[in-house]
Structure 1
Amino acid sequence: GYRLYDTANDAAGQVRYLIENGESVGTVPATAAFNPIFLQSMFGADPELNQQLSEALATAQREDPSLRQGEISAMMVTYRKNGNGDNADSGQAQDVAVHIFGDLPLGRRQISMARNGFFNVQIDRGLWDMGNSILSVLGRDLFIVSTDDEIERRQQDILEAILTGDILPLVDLISDAPLHYMIVFPNPRDMVPTKLRNHVQAVVAKGVLSSESAEHEITVLARNEKSASLVSSILYDFRTAAILALRSRFRGVVEDTPWGRQVPVWWANEMAGTLEQVSLTREENVVSLKLSYQRTMVNATLKSIERFGRDYTRTRGVNEEKLDPRYVDAQYLKSRSPSHYWSTRHKWGPNWPFGAPTNAMNQDVELPPEELPPVTQPL
């Protein structure tokens, strides 16, 4: 317990230092991050993916040479595969887009969450501060490039939609075909607690998101076997603490009531169940964390993205652009009334945006009704 608290406090102090000094998480020069050898070592040996990735970055640098002067804190590659039918998730990579985070000479706005937003209300203050700090120091800029102008435009549109709390374009995208992604942190030293700084050498995340399921894997390359043992122990502690918080503080449990079995907070129950199924393995100096989940948790994930976007819009409209909150609600958030938070297309409960087949509904557990009062209820 003390080790977990001490490590979390250490991590919060580290990101607070980065915020106060206007710094980002560990970065590397763009020229190094865009090197073909580095890209292949980080993103794997898929020749088609690496070719499209290198071509997209080369095109972006030709069109905007100032990119070479930047510092890269993270790179995310999204793509789909050209399989058909039952093999839709196989085949070669296509629709490759590269999302570059860092200190780029573009002067774009930082992404952050609202101080009076819903994440701040529902989660622990310390956790919110830490999460917001990490978002802020991930990079001052976000840049998207692709070999296809249409793909680049679509990714830009999806990003803009997400940042205004509209997840339906993303929903449409993954409805057509599963969306694959890979995220690489070239220099993760400053994104981990101080006590782990000399133990972690690289962090890579990858996964796939579809309408019915999702798979994610985070791989941490440690300096040696002893470092890997320490990293795996701390990750296990964080997992255990998160499960306890979801089960107790957020009531993510199934309760027996006079009216039958009910789930007070469905998304907390889903998240806790997902974390309980997480696989944490260690082999020599590599620590891997794997998790997978089904449609209901996919909906919880998408609604979390939606909530972040609406918080961001409220921050931008009210705090930065000094607009009337009612105008922000009506024009940007498209809420049902100026005093409400969710959009008119939002639906409560675990069966939106992806609904359950009629014969797959769970009859044993009675979930809360979808038409709950806005704002005061969970997701």
Structure 2
Amino acid sequence: MKTVGIFRNQLFKGSEVFIQQQAEALQHFEKRYIGRRVIGKKPEGAIACVLNERGDLHGKIAEMMNAITTSARPYNAVLREQSLDLIHAHFAIDGLYALKLAQQKNIPLVTTLHGFDVTVSNKDLLASRSPAWINYLIHQQKVKSQGDKFICVSDFIAQQALRHGFPENKLVQHYIGIDVDKYQPREKEDDQGVILHVARLVEKKGTAVLINAIKHVKAQYAEAKLVIIGDGPLMAGLKAQVASLGLERNVTFTGALPHADVMAWMRKASMLVLPSITAKTGDAEGLGMVLLEAAVTGVPVIGTQHGGIPEAIIDEHTGFLVTERDDKQLADRISFLLNDEQKRAEMGRNARHFISEKFNLSTQTLKLEKIYQELIHG
């Protein structure tokens, strides 16, 4: 059986569970996770080959050397006993770091483009002061010309990739998908009237717009309850916004939660709201995997006419699409769903059916394995 290396500089981030879900669904390939360090929970039985496994001085030096130089040499020791047939990197920036490793081993490199990697401006890549981002800014043409295939997580990302100079003949649009069998639809009595928002708390996710919308919703539903799951640099500012609007009794911040706990909250939700916006940096939503997680649970979803979100929502059938930054329109759609239990249930059923047809992980993984096989066998 052939072996694929799943490459991410920082492995198993809580906000990137979709990466290991896709990898763990592989049926016809062995897998090895490759990166600088593990920062989240490793899947049971998974093999991770990392530079800084123990957090000792040697590991830190190897990690720093790789981050600054993009050299594959630090991986020689940790991959000495590993036979790889292909590397699959996630995000274009990580694709740069995987490129030399793939070339050193003379194997193909496929890179998934998720969002910020083809939407953030060059100016903001430079302003980040991140060695990885700056290296990508300098060497991005090398990734585009020497990488073998680029998987785009939505049609929107494919269009953005073309605009950013990725070769059209190397692009393929492919939805990651979700495990439809693992996540069964919730029961009607599970719905507890919760307005749920799951996101990293950054500008792109539109959390501030949602909080403003809840102010309008409260005028009609005094006990409206918004639960915000996630953490990020905007946490303090968003809490201050809640306080200034007098919404302390209506809005709960849970912080980041394990994925299993997030999915438990999904079953309680009357709706999942992701009102994403285009950030000042240009950063935009590739698709919004949390929309799939809600929909597969039988929960109606509300998103914006933004990025890849319209590919995951059928307006007025599986949920609603609203205009970016329009808190009043968003409040109107939230209030409509709160007021109509039957419509919520109907849209939830429609959402699960739609996701099962278009984003079934089993089907999508077979397509992914075909991409791998074509690259390996030429």
Q: TM-score normalized by structure 1?
A: 0.27
Query: TM-score normalized by structure 2?
Result: 0.27
